Structures are given as C-alpha cells and as structure tokens.
Chain A
Amino acid sequence: MQLIACPWCGPREEVEFSYGGQAHVPYPDSPAELSDEQWAHYVFFRDNPKGRFAERWNHSAGCRRWFNAIRDTTTYRFERVYRLDDPKPLATELASSRRSTAP
C-alpha cells in the first residue's frame, strides 16, 4: 500500500486516492474532424507500459485535486508527482525497454 505524495497535501495513504489512467491524453480539439479510428484511440486506447508511466491521480478522499505522477508499474513506486500545469515529462524520463519494430 503506497504512501502517495499529494502535491497539495503531502504524503497520504493510498486509500485516499483514485486512479485516473494515463496522463497527457488531451481531449481532441475538434472531435468532429477525427476519423472513427482516431476517435476510438482517444476514447479507448491508452498506453500500458511495464515500467515508468505518466498517469493521473485524484486525491479523492482528501483535497479532491487531480495531479500527475510518474510511477513504475513494475515496482509501483512513485518516482515523482507533479501538478497538472507542470510540463509534460520528457520521453527520456519515461524511458523503458519498450522497443518497436513497427513497419
């Protein structure tokens, strides 16, 4: 059970938080202009890395604020938390062993 450092409240028990999945997936500017496939990717598809993951959390039983975190999905350890208006982490920070041989 994690001790999660809410950026506003400080470290609190995991039970006070709820999970919000992948961070930095903005609502599309013009959904009407997206193809069905592009829209489906916004609605249903999220990354699922084994390793560092930039994700959203909500201190739902505390200050009720949303924030972002970089957490390792293997160890569950929070590497850092940051506010929603903080810059998106660089790819190097999320670097993991993921490789692609996509054509």
Chain B
Amino acid sequence: MTSPFRTPDGGRIDRATTVEITFDGQTLPGHPGDTLASALLANGRHQVATSIKLGRPRGIAAAWAEDPGSLVQIEAPFPEPMLLATTVELYDGLVAHGLPGQGRLAEVPDSARYDAVHHHVDVLVVGAGPAGLAAALTAARAGARVALVDEQSEAGGSLLSGTDRLDDAPASQWVAAAVAELAAHPEVLHLQRTTAFGSYDDGFVLALERRTDHLGTGAPRHVSRQRVWRIRARSIVVATGAHERPVVFADNDRPGIMLAGAARTFLHRYGVLPGREAVVFTTNDSAYDAALDLHHAGVQVQAVVDARPEGSPRRDECEHAGIRVLSGAVVTGTQGVERVTHALVAPFADGEVGASSAIGCDLLLVSGGWNPAVHLFSQARGRLRYDETLGAFLPGEELDGLAVTGSAAGGFDLAGCLADGQRVVRAALTALAIPPAGEDPLPAAPEAVIPAAPLVLWRVPDTSGAEGSTSFVDLQRDATVADIARAVGAGLRSLEHVKRFTTIGTAHDQGKTSGVLTSGITAELLGIPVQDTGTTTFRPPYTPVAFAALAGRDRGRLFDPERVTALHQWHVAAGAVFEDVGQWKRPRYYPQPGEDMEAAVLRECAAARTGVGIIDGSTLGKIDVQGPDAAVLLDRLYTNLMSSLKVGSVRYGVMCGVDGMVIDDGTVFRLAEDRFLVLTTTGGAAKILDWMEEWLQTEWPDLRVHCTSVTEQWATFPVVGPRSRDVVGAVFPDVDVSAEAFPFMTWRDATLDGVPVRLARISFSGELAFEVYVNPWYAVAVWQRLLEAGRPYGITPYGTETMHVLRAEKGYPIIGQDTDGTVSPHDLGMAWAVSKKKPDFVGKRSFARPANADPLRKQLVGLLPVDRETVLPEGSQIVEFRADGQLPPPPVPMLGHVTSSYRSAELARPFALALVRGGRERIGDTVHVPVNGTLVPVEVTGSVLIDPEGARRDG
C-alpha cells in the first residue's frame, strides 16, 4: 500500500516499518511516528467526521491538542471515547472512526493499570521546545533537581515542525544533544508523552504520562497504561508554546482548511503533504514559512493572501519563488463540500471587503496570529493582559515561583526564546540560592528577520449573505459569529454569558482556538476594548484526562483499606458472613449448613443466654490515657464522673459534643491512679482519639495527659453467658472468677503460659460475661483455648448481629444506630450517667437550652408488635394509633422511628427499640407502624426487655 501524500523522504517517522490501521472501515498504512491525523492526511483523507449540530464535514485543522476538528472514537485495542486524531500515535491494529457528537464507553471493564507518582524538584520545566530545553539545560548544569515534561512523543517542540538551524546544523541535532546531556544528569527527570494538565498552589503541578498508549496491543500488561505525576516544584518554568489562531470567515470549517503552522508540522515532522494546491491566508509573517516550505516540497501555492495593506517584508521571498502574494486581501469564504475546492479572495481595506474571486485549492492555510498557551499560568491564578499588537492574552504579572517563557510569553523568535528560557531559569535558580554553572552555552541561532507588525483580525465581514451563520468560531460546538451576535443582541454583556448562550468553549478542546476569538468578536460587537471583555476562566485540566487515570490504584480492594482482626482467617474458615463496620470487616453471623441469618442468630443468641457464646470484639476502639491529669481530662469529656473510679474497676460512660448530643459511649478501665484504658465504639475510635487530642492541645495544654491508640494492641474476646465463668475459670485456673473475688465492672491481670492477659467483668448482653484482652500475636491461641474449654458447654461463636440483639434486649443503645447526632443522654434514658456533681463537662451547658427541655423530645423506648410476629423493618416510622387501621392521606405526623429491630429467642417474639416523641410518657400505649402499606399495632414499652433487675450479670 502506498500513501499518495507521503513525501519521498524527510520527517521523523520510521519509514522502514509500516503499520496498518482501520479508519471508518478502511484499512490504511502508516508508519511509527505518525499520528492518526498524519496517516489520514498521507492517504489523502482530510474529512474525519461530521459536525455535531449541522452535520457539516469536518477535518483536520491543526496538528496537536488545539485541533477543533478531528474527533475520533477508538474501537480497538480498547474502546475509548473522543480523542483527537492529531494526538493519537499510530500503532498496528488501531481501529477508529470519526465522531460526530458523542463518544462511546466500553461495555466491559478496563483492565489496564493506572498509577500515580509523587515527585519533588527544584525546577519543573513544562515544554521541551527551544525555551524549555534551554531552561532545563541551564537548571541541570547548575546541579538543580529538574523535571522536564513535554506532551509530544519526542522533545523539540516547534523545532520538530520547521527548518530552523542551530549552531549551523539542523536544530534537531541540538535537540538530540540537549536530550542526551539531560539524560546524563542524575537529578534530571525527563518525561515525554507527559502533559502537565493542572497547576495548583505552592508549585504543585499534575501531569499525565501516557506510557503505553502508543504501543497498542503490544503494551506490556505489567506497565501502567497512564501515570499521574504529582509534581511539587520549588520553581516552575512554563514553556508551553503558543497555539495558532484562525481568522473566522464564511464557510471556514471545510476539510482542507488548516492552520498554517500545522501544515508545516505535517510536512516536516510527518513527511506528509496536506494538499496539492494551497492558498495561504494570513495576518502576520509566520505563515510565509508555511507557504515557502510547502512550495519547496512541491505544493502549488496559488497565493498568499495577506490582510495587511502593506503586506510583509517576506513578500519578495515568495515572489522570487513564484508565489503570488495578495496584500490587503482576505479570504471571504470557500467552496467545496467534503473538501475545500476554492478560496474566495477579495481586497480588504479599512475593514471593507471588495468583490471576491475564487482561487482553486485543496488546501487553505490560515493564520490569524498566535495565542500563547497561558493555561498553566492562568490556572495558578496569574492575571492576563491583552496585548493589542499580538491580539492575544499574555501573562500580565510576575508570579512567585512560576515563570513563563518562550512563545508562551509572547516571544516568537528562536534566539530570543532560547535566551529567555535561560534567563528565567537563572532568575529562578538565584531565588533558590542555586548558583549557575560556569559553562552554560546556548546554541547559536541565525539572526531573525524582524517581522512586520501583525494585523489583529478576528473575522472577515461576511459578504456571503449568511450573516455570519457559516462563520464558525467554535467548530466543535458548531457555534458561529451569528450566534455571538444573537447573544449580544439578547442583552448579554459578559463573556461568560456569551459562552453559555453560544456554548463556545465548552467542548472537547475547551476553547483552545475559539476562546480568544470569542473575546475579540464579542468586544467588537459590544464596542468595548478586548481587555474589558477578558477571557473566560482557564480551568484544569489542560487536555482531557481519563477518569481511570485519576482513580489510579484506588479501586476495588484498594479503594479503601480493609482492616481485619487477628482472627480474620479463623472467621473465614468458620464460614462467617462479614459486615463492613467502618473500614473493619466484622463477622456478622456464622451460619451452619442450611441456616439463614435469622436461624443462625436465634441459635447464637440462645447459646449466649443459656450457655456460653464468644465474640471477636477486637475492633472496639481502645485509647490508653496516661498522666497525672488523666482523670481530670476524662471528667471533662465524659458526662459522668470518672475520677472517682477505683483502680481495678471499670465504669460505663457517655461522651457528648459541645451541642450536648451523644457522640460515643463505652467502658473505662482505671489501670492506675494516672492511667486509664478508654474503650470506644468501633466506628468512633479514631474520632474520639482526635477529640481528646483536640481538647488537650487546644484548650487544656496545662493538663499533663498523653493519649495513645491501643486498638490494635489488644485483641478482645467477650465470653458471654451463664457458663462463661466455667470457661474462663478453666482457661485461667490461677484467677478466682467467683462473683465475690471478681465482681462485676472490675478487671484483673492474668497470664496464660506466660502471656499477659487482661480479664474484665463487663457485659453488653446482661449475662454473666468476661472480656479477655490479649496481644493480637497470641489472639488465635487464646481464642482456641477458650473454644476448647467451652466445648463441653457448647460454646458458640457469634457475630455482630447476635451482639446487637443481646444488647437491644437489655436496652443498651448503639451510638450511631439508636442515635443520629440529635439525641442527648437524657433522651436515651441515661440521666443516671450524667453527673450532677461536676460543675461542667463538654456538652453540659447545652442540656439547659429550651429545646432540651421539650417534653416531646424523642426518647428511646422499646416496642413490642402486638401480633407477636412482625419484625418491624429498621427505619420504619411510627404514627399515632388509628382506630380504623387506615393510614390517612399525607402529610401524616410522625412520632419517631424504629432504630433497632430483631426477633428475640428469649422473648419468643420480635421487639424493637425506637426513638419516640415523648416516648417515656407513652409507655403502655399502642401506636402504629406502617409496614408495606399496613398499619402494625405495637405496644410502647420500656427499653429494657430482659432481666430489668440485672439479676443475671453475676451468673
């Protein structure tokens, strides 16, 4: 296969290797080093897709990310929506098609890997064009830690697209030498195919490295496809170049109409002729290079149409080459359907357009000047200023730690860019106190021809009769001069409103070519200076970034850490069904063959109430609170008194926020006069440690207290039930486990084969119970000893579900389930846990607010469904009893809701806990709970349904 528009030689493609791609069903050849766009052009194909609203043919209009035309969908090797043909590197087996509007997501998950790396440098240089390379070399030579990132497949920037010479040799030789020199510096990180897409505070830049995209199906699976670099730089040099700006005229969107600089890129970098017969329309001197280069490559350049009445000093060069130059002329329109066939050219003076004549062409190159790529500067909150001469927005202020250089700063001659790159990085190094290297030469660039002043021309007056409706400003949105005019006519004055009215700048390219044009045209229509119109805000990312790249490795199991206890493998082997509790995996129940949850839980509950059960409670938060003022701290944070607790004893306590609402509860061990072990809920562990630290550090730094999390230093196994004493006594024969010697709410230290173990008489079930605390290293061994000793009594491991049933039968609330941040200790019926002796504690003052005294506050009560059968769904709402059993139409006043609900083995009926308005006054009443459309009558009871007198706790 041959590619008719491929030059016989030249370019930076690998001509020795041919790859095959499929585009719109057509198999086409190309070479490594091509982009999809250059391969299409090499095969004579300009049209890529049709436009989104109008269905007009659209083609390749630029050579990189600023292209508004060549949207494609990748289908193979893996579907990816909406990329630009100009940025897709070619590989064998690429299958793609043009995209008129919406991209298509793959229907199967993406198995590629993505990751992220943090990197810290003295100097980050963004852009490896002449200014960026000069800056990176100077920084590297000075011994600075440098990162150089560039979005293209190879370094060189604009030097890849032209015929520049440095040190009297092709500039590519200098680029190669510079890259080699950078590679020799160990402190330099040089990344190509890496787009700096976001610039944030304090020198933080995000860059996306495309590591394997260009390898296609040959990408090694162990290498991440894309990598996010999180670069923290002490100093940033932005050398991101400039985007050429089109001029808007009627029918300026046809395939074959291209930015002039892009044609040079296709020619010099990819060895592609973008046409046979070209017209070049320009407002500045830069497009003359395109005209001459194409001419020398064999393109018939029909005319250079220069809008400036004086033309260019380079006119002679063109005419010498036989190229006609029309000064004081513009392109007013085009002809053609799927490809431009004619440019309509007319004289242009003082804003007036004369009669046009058609010039045949298959390529119309356009240059309206250059827009510096100020995105990163602007994202870093740099102010832009409008430059009247260039017709462009430039950095308008100096930023600390971020300098803009090269054409991104409005410099457009090679020698100047090289020198400026070196200058700005030297200033940055000085600020960082890094002395420059003695030897720091710049390559010699030929003296630049001083260009004639450009003409700022946003649009050519529409003489076609279409009134600007085919003069496209944003090709991706099919938005025209007429749309802007309509927006302004509707009364809009703000550029942001114009953007929203017309949708200009909202598409894939985020206005890279259309943004400044819109500012200019809007200003013209409003009759105000362009500076006053300004630009819309530059927002990250500079170019689109795949969601998966930003998600990185934080997916699946790594989305959030999984915390497991020392017994996790035992639980798994025992067939536990797990529940997520915060980050923890906790056994919810242990079904035996044929059991569902209800059956398993009834069995587990019965064991704990009548024999003995055991649960892994290791996830409970544990905080070691030490210091001479430890008791003072706890007195201030708990609602009840902790300082009176005796060493060796345990007390239950409640903590409130300053708003007086319960935030956590648990037991407190006094280990010594100056030392406590505080237990928190599983979910509250980190929060309560933070809470203690916050008060200690910010309010009470005079208190001599230290707090340390010991959650993971103690595995915890409550052994629960009337036979628990037998089990614990058997495992710890040296400990007197009698009720007299080891009373309720006390703890003891013991040893097991030399391993220290702590035992406590605490019960979260109302039953006789012992909690066993041991270093997790020995957890499995101790657990198994307990199981062994319990075997004669049928010891039954149980999970969180049974734990919840057992505690609910006793009316013990779960903070976060039976409370929701609006519940006070009094609402829970825990006035007994609120000290009246202490002058103050956190939350106390809030109890005295009027709303806290409202008798209709919601209070925790028990509920018993009258039918003795219905398990009320947790979350059910409670309404007044309706004699007719019918729910009235909404709104129906609600009395409260069911917070916990279970079937009780002990009660042989379901029961629930609920928060009910004025609930304690309603004990004995019957209320209704709507369940699946029917009203279930329930009796309001006290919250303690089993053993209210506490007779069982001592066995």
Rounded to whole angstroms, the CA-CA distance of A66 and B694 in the bound complex is 7
Report whether A2 and B658 are in contact in the complex, using a CB–CB cutoff of 8 Å. Answer: no
Report whether B846 and A2 are in contact in the complex, using a CB–CB cutoff of 8 Å. Answer: no
What is the minimal beta-carbon distance from B693 to any residue of chain A, in angstroms?
Answer: 6
Which of A31, A75, A76 counts the most B-chain CB atoms under 10 A from its CB? A31
Q: Mark B691-702, 1 if CB is under 8 A from A, else 0.
A: 001100111010
Residues of the B chain whose Cβ atoms lie less than 8 Å from the Cβ of A77 = 201
Report whether B201 and A76 are in contact in the complex, using a CB–CB cutoff of 8 Å. Answer: yes
Report whether B693 and A64 are in contact in the complex, using a CB–CB cutoff of 8 Å. Answer: yes
Residues of the B chain whose Cβ atoms lie less than 8 Å from the Cβ of A39 = 845-846, 849
Instruction: Count how many chain B residues have C-beta atoms less than 8 Å from C-beta atoms of the other chain.
Output: 24
Residues A30-67 near B (CB distance < 8 A) = 30-32, 34, 36, 39-40, 42-44, 56, 58, 60, 64-66
What is the minimal beta-carbon distance from B695 to any residue of chain A, in angstroms?
Answer: 8
Residues B180-238 near A (CB distance < 8 A) = 200-204, 232
In chain B, what residue has the closest Cβ to A64? B693
Rounded to whole angstroms, the CA-CA distance of A88 and B203 in the bound complex is 29
Report whether B658 and A42 are in contact in the complex, using a CB–CB cutoff of 8 Å. Answer: yes
Asked if A91 is at the interface (CB within 8 A of a chain B CB), the reply is no
Asked if A9 is at the interface (CB within 8 A of a chain B CB), the reply is no
Rounded to whole angstroms, the CA-CA distance of A77 and B202 in the bound complex is 8
Rounded to whole angstroms, the CA-CA distance of A84 and B697 in the bound complex is 8
Rounded to whole angstroms, the CA-CA distance of A2 and B232 in the bound complex is 10
- CB within 8 Å for A32 and B840 given contacts A1-B201, A39-B846: yes
Asked if A85 is at the interface (CB within 8 A of a chain B CB), the reply is yes
Rounded to whole angstroms, the CA-CA distance of A3 and B120 in the bound complex is 12
Report whether B839 and A3 are in contact in the complex, using a CB–CB cutoff of 8 Å. Answer: no
Residues of the A chain whose Cβ atoms lie less than 8 Å from the Cβ of B849 = 36, 39-40
Asked if A20 is at the interface (CB within 8 A of a chain B CB), the reply is yes
Report whether A66 and B697 are in contact in the complex, using a CB–CB cutoff of 8 Å. Answer: yes
- CB within 8 Å for A3 and B202 given contacts A31-B845, A34-B845, A66-B698: yes
Residues of the A chain whose Cβ atoms lie less than 8 Å from the Cβ of B697 = 65-66, 84
In chain A, what residue has the closest Cβ to B845? A31
Residues B837-878 near A (CB distance < 8 A) = 839-840, 844-846, 848-850
What is the minimal beta-carbon distance from B633 to any residue of chain A, in angstroms?
Answer: 13
What is the minimal beta-carbon distance from B625 to any residue of chain A, in angstroms?
Answer: 15
Rounded to whole angstroms, the CA-CA distance of A82 and B503 in the bound complex is 47
- CB within 8 Å for A20 and B844 given contacts A26-B699, A76-B201, A84-B701: no
Report whether A32 and B698 are in contact in the complex, using a CB–CB cutoff of 8 Å. Answer: no
- CB within 8 Å for A2 and B202 given contacts A34-B845, A42-B658: yes
What is the minimal beta-carbon distance from B76 to any residue of chain A, in angstroms?
Answer: 37
Report whether A32 and B839 are in contact in the complex, using a CB–CB cutoff of 8 Å. Answer: yes
Rounded to whole angstroms, the CA-CA distance of A76 and B694 in the bound complex is 23
Which listed residue, B201, B839, B850, touches A36 by the CB 8 Å rule?
B850
Which listed residue, B694, B699, B840, B846, touches A58 by the CB 8 Å rule?
B694
Q: Mark A1-41, 1 if CB is under 8 A from B, else 0.
A: 11100000000010000001000001100111010100110
Residues of the A chain whose Cβ atoms lie less than 8 Å from the Cβ of B658 = 42-43
Report whether A20 and B845 are in contact in the complex, using a CB–CB cutoff of 8 Å. Answer: no
In chain A, what residue has the closest Cβ to B698? A66
Report whether B232 and A27 are in contact in the complex, using a CB–CB cutoff of 8 Å. Answer: no
Asked if B598 is at the interface (CB within 8 A of a chain A CB), the reply is no
Report whether B381 and A75 are in contact in the complex, using a CB–CB cutoff of 8 Å. Answer: yes
Rounded to whole angstroms, the CA-CA distance of A38 and B47 in the bound complex is 71
Report whether B201 and A60 are in contact in the complex, using a CB–CB cutoff of 8 Å. Answer: no
Residues B640-699 near A (CB distance < 8 A) = 658-659, 690, 693-694, 697-699
Report whether B232 and A3 are in contact in the complex, using a CB–CB cutoff of 8 Å. Answer: yes
What is the minimal beta-carbon distance from B689 to any residue of chain A, in angstroms?
Answer: 9
Rounded to whole angstroms, the CA-CA distance of A66 and B699 in the bound complex is 11
What is the minimal beta-carbon distance from A68 to any residue of chain B, in angstroms?
Answer: 9
Report whether A60 and B844 are in contact in the complex, using a CB–CB cutoff of 8 Å. Answer: no
Range for the number of chain A residues in contact with chain B: 20 to 34
Which listed residue, A13, A56, A76, touches B698 by the CB 8 Å rule?
A56
Report whether A43 and B698 are in contact in the complex, using a CB–CB cutoff of 8 Å. Answer: no
- CB within 8 Å for A31 and B201 given contacts A39-B845, A66-B697, A66-B698: no
Residues of the B chain whose Cβ atoms lie less than 8 Å from the Cβ of A42 = 658
Rounded to whole angstroms, the CA-CA distance of A97 and B643 in the bound complex is 49
Residues of the B chain whose Cβ atoms lie less than 8 Å from the Cβ of A66 = 693-694, 697-698
Residues of the B chain whose Cβ atoms lie less than 8 Å from the Cβ of A44 = 659
Residues of the A chain whose Cβ atoms lie less than 8 Å from the Cβ of B203 = 3
Report whether A85 and B840 are in contact in the complex, using a CB–CB cutoff of 8 Å. Answer: no
What is the minimal beta-carbon distance from A57 to any residue of chain B, in angstroms?
Answer: 11
What is the minimal beta-carbon distance from A99 to any residue of chain B, in angstroms?
Answer: 26
In chain B, what residue has the closest Cβ to A27? B699
Report whether A2 and B839 are in contact in the complex, using a CB–CB cutoff of 8 Å. Answer: no
Rounded to whole angstroms, the CA-CA distance of A75 and B400 in the bound complex is 13
Residues of the A chain whose Cβ atoms lie less than 8 Å from the Cβ of B200 = 1
Q: Mark B222-263, 1 if CB is under 8 A from A, else 0.
A: 000000000010000000000000000000000000000000
Rounded to whole angstroms, the CA-CA distance of A27 and B844 in the bound complex is 13
What is the minimal beta-carbon distance from B565 to any residue of chain A, in angstroms?
Answer: 23
- CB within 8 Å for A85 and B701 given contacts A1-B200, A1-B201, A32-B840: yes
Which listed residue, B201, B844, B845, touches A2 by the CB 8 Å rule?
B201
Rounded to whole angstroms, the CA-CA distance of A10 and B601 in the bound complex is 53
Residues A65-103 near B (CB distance < 8 A) = 65-66, 75-77, 84-85
In chain B, what residue has the closest Cβ to A28? B845
Residues of the B chain whose Cβ atoms lie less than 8 Å from the Cβ of A65 = 697
- CB within 8 Å for A3 and B659 given contacts A64-B693, A75-B381: no
Report whether A43 and B690 are in contact in the complex, using a CB–CB cutoff of 8 Å. Answer: no
Residues of the B chain whose Cβ atoms lie less than 8 Å from the Cβ of A85 = 701
Rounded to whole angstroms, the CA-CA distance of A27 and B698 in the bound complex is 10
Which listed residue, A27, A43, A84, touches B846 by the CB 8 Å rule?
A43
Rounded to whole angstroms, the CA-CA distance of A39 and B232 in the bound complex is 44
Residues of the A chain whose Cβ atoms lie less than 8 Å from the Cβ of B381 = 75
Rounded to whole angstroms, the CA-CA distance of A12 and B128 in the bound complex is 29
Rounded to whole angstroms, the CA-CA distance of A32 and B74 in the bound complex is 69
Residues of the B chain whose Cβ atoms lie less than 8 Å from the Cβ of A75 = 381
Rounded to whole angstroms, the CA-CA distance of A34 and B849 in the bound complex is 11
Residues of the A chain whose Cβ atoms lie less than 8 Å from the Cβ of B840 = 30-32
Report whether B701 and A32 are in contact in the complex, using a CB–CB cutoff of 8 Å. Answer: no
What is the minimal beta-carbon distance from A72 to any residue of chain B, in angstroms?
Answer: 11
Rounded to whole angstroms, the CA-CA distance of A77 and B699 in the bound complex is 26
Residues of the A chain whose Cβ atoms lie less than 8 Å from the Cβ of B693 = 58, 64, 66
Rounded to whole angstroms, the CA-CA distance of A85 and B699 in the bound complex is 11
Residues of the B chain whose Cβ atoms lie less than 8 Å from the Cβ of A26 = 699
Rounded to whole angstroms, the CA-CA distance of A30 and B690 in the bound complex is 24
Residues of the A chain whose Cβ atoms lie less than 8 Å from the Cβ of B701 = 84-85
Rounded to whole angstroms, the CA-CA distance of A39 and B690 in the bound complex is 23
What is the minimal beta-carbon distance from A92 to any residue of chain B, in angstroms?
Answer: 23
What is the minimal beta-carbon distance from B523 to any residue of chain A, in angstroms?
Answer: 28
What is the minimal beta-carbon distance from B954 to any residue of chain A, in angstroms?
Answer: 39
In chain A, what residue has the closest Cβ to B203? A3
What is the minimal beta-carbon distance from A75 to any residue of chain B, in angstroms?
Answer: 7
In chain B, what residue has the closest Cβ to A39? B845
Rounded to whole angstroms, the CA-CA distance of A73 and B850 in the bound complex is 35
What is the minimal beta-carbon distance from B94 to any residue of chain A, in angstroms?
Answer: 36
Residues B786-842 near A (CB distance < 8 A) = 839-840
Residues of the A chain whose Cβ atoms lie less than 8 Å from the Cβ of B232 = 3, 13
Report whether B690 and A60 are in contact in the complex, using a CB–CB cutoff of 8 Å. Answer: yes
Interface pairs (18), CB distance under 8 Å:
A3-B202, A3-B232, A20-B698, A26-B699, A31-B844, A32-B840, A34-B845, A36-B849, A36-B850, A43-B846, A56-B698, A60-B690, A66-B694, A66-B698, A75-B381, A84-B697, A84-B698, A84-B701
> Which residue numbers of B lie inside 8 Å of A, CB to CB?
200-204, 232, 381, 658-659, 690, 693-694, 697-699, 701, 839-840, 844-846, 848-850
Q: Which 9 A-B pairs have the closest CB atoms?
A: A31-B845, A3-B202, A66-B697, A1-B200, A1-B204, A27-B699, A43-B658, A2-B201, A39-B845
Known A36-B850, A43-B659; further 20 A-B contacts with Cβ < 8 A = A1-B200, A1-B202, A2-B202, A31-B840, A31-B845, A32-B840, A36-B848, A39-B849, A42-B658, A43-B658, A43-B846, A44-B659, A58-B693, A64-B693, A66-B694, A66-B697, A75-B381, A84-B697, A84-B698, A85-B701
